[in-house]
Amino acid sequence: MEQYLNPRVKDIQISGIRKFFNMVAEIDDIISLTIGQPDFPTPQHIKDAGKRAIDEDFTSYTHNAGFIGLREAAASYVEDKYTIHYNPVNEVIVTNGASQAIDVILRTILTEGDDCLLPGPVYPGYEPIIKLCGANPVHIDITQNGFKMDAALIKKNLTPATKCVILPYPSNPTGVSLSKGELEEIADLLRSRNIFVLADEIYSELTFDDSHSSIAQFLREQTIVVNGLSKSHSMTGWRIGLIFAPKSISQHLLKVHQYNVSCASSISQKAAYEALTVGKDDALRMKQQYKERRDYVYNRLIEMGFEGVVKPHGAFYFFVKIPDVLLMSSFDFSLALAKENKVAVVPGDAFSKLGEGYFRLSYACSMDQLRKGLDRLQSFIQR
């Protein structure tokens, strides 16, 4: 029966990140610097809120968009943090993680033959959904632009078919973000054009040197913001994402979301309410440790002789160029590193063809693991 499946589904692939992670996971004594999974436990007060939800029988369906108290807390959170106002009644949707939010948004706005612009290299979760919609992913090469997709690059790639621009900043896999001025330039370019902006801001609370700015501050009516609690509050398994969008767009997003999952887990929603109110600043403690790790990794990579290392502005990744002298593909480099020196990174080609020649290193692990992993990387490079 396989031949009768949707051909678009058969054409897409399992994420290269997960594929490589699974491939090397069985290697004894492997140090994994692969998955973007915070190594901090979910804060205890948030776990307690989830337990209370069960004990108090808050275990039924909620409103499709999430219970109103959580939507009010989410709206208050982004207004306080990023000075963007959304009406919690009809402009906020609680989703099953940011991944489901991205799926809902792209299926709502894209139609057959549309072009969707996104940076390359980029997180691999967008392209398959774009293709399932019958639209075309258009990767913009940012490798020679400090890993930034700016107004000039976007303008160069606009066509009459352009329907959406994806801005995933701070970025997975590069850790780079866009400044307020750079976002204003993009907003000026796209204003009055019939183009949506999907702003994936899941790492917005993990910025190290400057506070996060959102393009929704400058282009609210065309922007759909994705956020969530997986990275900021170390709640990956709780699966809580958030969509913020103008009412005219949100009312249609809600229809797709409703038929997809009905609503997010009620128990997780109660935990999320605790995170966005009592735990509003929980990310600060984690962020300080991530910054220390970032600085340590940056200095080690420079000492090893890696060229053109871009220091991340946020998230918890480095995207590192493999030395040309090695004459190895990103996959061969990463596989040899795992087998010979027992440290796992992600091949750059997992983040589109434009990631070839690089590898992604996650520093969402203990300093002890980082030291050991980087020692092994250094030994591998020297040999």
Residue pLDDT, tens place only, 312-337: 999 999 999 999 988 899 999 999 99
Closest alpha carbon to 56 in 340, 259, 375, 273: 273
- Report how far apart, in Å, the C-alpha atoms of 365 and of each of 170, 292, 316, 341 are: 19, 12, 9, 18
CATH, range 2-42+282-382: 3.90.1150.10
Give me the architecture of the 59-276 domain, per CATH. Answer: 3-Layer(aba) Sandwich (3.40)
- Give the residue extent of every domain in the chain: 2-42+282-382, 59-276
139 close to 120: Cβ distance less than 8 angstroms: yes
pLDDT at 286: 95
Number of residues that make up the chain: 383
Contact 159, 140 (CB under 8 A): no
Residue 26's pLDDT is 80
The pTM of the full predicted model, rounded to 2 decimals, is: 0.96
Say which DSSP state 196 is in: E
Residue ranges in the chain whose pLDDT is less than 50: none
Determine the pLDDT at residue 18: 73
Can the peptide bond before residue 347 be classed as cis, meaning omega within 30 degrees of 0?
A: no
Residue 301: strand, helix, or coil: helix
Terminus-to-terminus CA distance in the chain, angstroms? Answer: 50
Orientation of helix 44-55 relative to helix 266-276, angle to 10°: 140
The label of the residue with tokens 């020196």 reads 341
The whole-number pLDDT of residue 281 equals 96
Question: How do residues 195-234 score in pLDDT, each as one tens digit?
Answer: 999 999 999 999 999 899 999 999 999 999 999 999 999 9
